[in-house]
Amino acid sequence: MADQAPILELQNVDKSFGPIDVLSDINLKVHAGEVLCLLGDNGAGKSTLIKTLCGVYTPTRGKILMDGKEVHFTRPRDAQEMGISTVHQFGGTFPLMSIGRSFFVGVEPTKGWGPFKRFDRKTANEISVKAVQDFGITRIDDGDRLVGGLSGGERQSLAIARAVHFGARVLILDEPTAALGVKQASHVLRIVNEAKKRGLAVIFITHQVMHALAVGDHFAVLIRGKLAANFMKGEKSREEITDLMAGGEDMATLEAQIAGEDTELHSPAHVRTSQQD
Amino acid sequence: MDMIANLLRRPAAASILSLLGVLAFYVFIGGVDLGNLMGAASWVNYAARIGIVAIAVGLLMTSGEIDISIGAMIPAGAMTTAIISGYYELPIVFGILGALAVGVLVGLFNGILAVRTTVPTLIITLGTLVAMQGVVLAGSRLLTGAASVPLTAPDWAKQAFGQLMFGGSHQVLIVWWVIITTIAWFVLHHTKYGNWIFAIGGDRESARNAGVPVDRMTIILFVLTSTSASFVGMCHAILFNSAQVSGGMGDIFNIIVSVVVGGVLLTGGFGSVIGIFFGAITFAIVNKGIDFTAIDRNWSNLIIGVMLVIAVLLNENFRQLALRYAPKKKSRTSEASQ
């Protein structure tokens, strides 16, 4: 794996909005057939990092490389054409459209001629259903069903299957399991694993350590826009990762403080001070 | 049973049920002679007038936008034709093209503002509505010195746009309505452009990311909407041999009510051309059919209000039904047979 150029690489990437530095000096690599878990608390810069990767933002400094060559994305479409596909928390699909129709938005299969060129519903339905079933979601068997009628996990699966079908090489999953129940989440994790087996590079954003550990090969923790840790599977325990995500030392200090306040509350010293106020 | 369930899941279901409901109400409570009502031209003519614009507004609304400037565009189309070909006596072709050009221009204005700014299109088109009312009134006064302009159209133009058919009182506009409905039905439900409209209405950003030319589609839909309104105005000017300045406020709401009764979701992403077609028929029957009943005409707005609320509630339920639809399930068939 190491002798091959990573599919996607960030070198010393900074992103600032005016005077505010949201990302600073990010170095990351992700290879084909590898799941990179991006962990971090809210506001740590995960979203900004994703948006930089998928072309919504351009880095203020630093380079993005694909297959070892530098690339410049000026809009999401550029990243997509290079094979970077982002799936958002709720699947980013159209709830009131059928599975077949939503699967092919923008690339509709047609049949017929000239002005009578028609949307080929049958083909669209068959291909979309097959694509999802290939990922092991056999419950989806009718392309006419509306996307909004699927469960959260099924919608995620549909969105991932869609990205893979249209030739994604890098799959960015933005908190795919955040809104899901335990069972649904395990569906999605299975699909992440399947995508990895097919040789995709997956960037899996989450703040559920359990989910990350289940599928991740490589972990990166963001804290206040900086890469606080970057390690491979098995190098750190779950507790260590959780601590890291929560800000490590901060958490320990907070715990100590809370414990301290608790005792203070019941101590006569506390009563005395509040009376003085 | 299955057929009924299938029908109910369609966006057009509520409009067809509303139509049946209104007819039943008129027949049983209003004492209408159904044959008489069906043979009458008044409501069909009216359905065509609002139906043509409703189709375009329906497509626009399916894409998640709204255009209320249509109210001013019907008189604008009529006045343009009458001023060019009536007052200035230029050939009618110029009058027709002039009316359509006014529609295209206003549509472009609305559409470009809609994609370039973040102002809600309700506000943008409210602005155009009021502005066009002003332009039409002041322009007519300035150019002709009157608010009503006579027009005599040649035979071919009368036959194409204004003629009454079947030797009776059905306007040729009805034929246009059916043709436009058929084309819109094909485009919305059977081409990729229709798929784009649904996608834009469902989630604008996702549609854009999937490669749909969202801005271009939005502008085209705005152009179609205001051009369809100026087209209707132009036809009326040719039919009635004159055009008057009017606010057209009533048309706005009548058209939007037809579209909503027709099952189009106000926030976009769901709707059908068949539904809008029946929505316009239903509205026209309530509004004009009341003259055939023993009911006092003044009650018609109450009926429209009640019908609107019922239709929207039905739409809501049917949409849930459509969302829950999962075929080939044992549990599903047992549910249906109960």
Is the Cβ pair B207, A106 closer than 8 Å? Answer: yes
Instruction: Determine contact: B279 vs chain A, CB below 8 A.
Output: no
Residues of B in contact with A93 (CB under 8 A): 202-203, 206
Domain match, A219 and A82 both: yes
Domain match, A159 and A241 both: yes
Residues of B in contact with A80 (CB under 8 A): 209, 211
**CA angle at residue A64 from A58 to A56, to 5 degrees?**
30
d(CA B174, CA A126): 39
Q: According to DSSP H, which parts of A43-181 are helical?
A: 46-53, 76-81, 99-103, 121-134, 152-165
Count of the separate structural domains present in chain B: 1
Domain match, A130 and A237 both: yes
In a domain, B4, yes or no: no
Residue A267 is part of which domain span?
A: 247-277
Report, in this order, helix, strand and coil percent for chain A, each rounded to 5. Answer: 40, 25, 35
Count of the separate structural domains present in chain A: 2
**CA angle at residue A59 from A55 to A61, to 5 degrees?**
160
Domain match, A16 and A47 both: yes
What are the two backbone dihedrals, phi and then psi, of residue A205, each rounded to the nearest 5 degrees? Answer: -95, 130
Is the Cβ pair A95, B269 closer than 8 Å? Answer: yes
Q: According to DSSP H, which parts of B63-167 are helical?
A: 70-81, 92-116, 121-144, 155-157
Residues of B in contact with A107 (CB under 8 A): 210-211
Among A86, A94, A146, most B C-beta atoms within 10 A, so best to mutate, is: A94
Name the residue among B90, B83, B230 with its Cα closest to residue B148: B83
Domain match, A108 and A214 both: yes
The CATH number given to whatever domain includes residue B170 is 1.10.3470
Q: Tell me the whole-structure pTM to 2 decimals.
A: 0.84
Among A99, A101, A105, A174, most B C-beta atoms within 10 A, so best to mutate, is: A105
Q: Is B169 helix (H, G, I), strand (E, B) or coil?
A: coil
Name the residue among B251, B250, B200 with its Cα closest to residue B222: B200
Residue of A nearest to B269 (CA): A96
Instruction: Retrieve residue B44's tokens.
Output: 């069909």
In a domain, B303, yes or no: yes
In a domain, B2, yes or no: no
pLDDT digits (tens, 9 = 90+) for A91-138: 667 888 999 999 998 889 999 888 788 999 999 999 999 998 888 788
Secondary structure letter of residue A33 according to DSSP: T
pLDDT tens series, chain B, 338 aa: 566 777 777 778 888 888 898 888 888 888 888 888 888 888 999 999 999 999 999 999 999 999 999 999 999 999 999 999 999 999 999 999 999 999 999 999 999 999 999 999 999 999 999 999 999 999 999 998 888 899 988 888 888 888 777 667 888 999 999 999 999 999 999 999 999 999 999 989 888 878 899 999 999 999 999 999 999 999 999 999 989 888 678 889 899 999 999 999 888 899 999 999 999 999 999 888 888 888 888 888 888 888 888 888 888 888 888 887 765 444 443 333 33
Is the Cβ pair A142, B328 closer than 8 Å? Answer: yes
CB A174 within 8 A of CB A88: yes
Beta pairing partners, A203: A36, A172
Tell me the shortest Cα–Cα distance from B116 to chain A, in angstroms: 17
Residue B314 is part of which domain span?
A: 12-22+40-326
Domain match, A142 and A265 both: no
CB A191 within 8 A of CB A11: no
Domain match, A184 and A265 both: no
In a domain, A92, yes or no: yes
Q: According to DSSP H, which parts of B9-82 are helical?
A: 13-28, 34-39, 42-62, 70-81
Residues of B in contact with A154 (CB under 8 A): none
Domain match, A116 and A192 both: yes
As to burial, measured by CB atoms within 10 angstroms (0-12 exposed, 13-18 middle, 19+ buried), residue A195 is buried
Helices (H) and strands (E) in chain B, counts: 16, 4
d(CA B220, CA B269): 17
Instruction: Determine contact: B328 vs chain A, CB below 8 A.
Output: yes
Is the Cβ pair A149, B322 closer than 8 Å? Answer: yes
In a domain, A27, yes or no: yes
d(CA A189, CA A192): 5
In a domain, A78, yes or no: yes
The CATH number given to whatever domain includes residue A162 is 3.40.50.300
User: Which residues does A contribute to its contact with B (CB < 8 Å)?
Assistant: 76-77, 80, 92-97, 101-102, 104-108, 110, 117-119, 141-142, 144-146, 148-149
Q: Other CB atoms closer than 10 Å to residue A1's CB: what's the count? A: 10
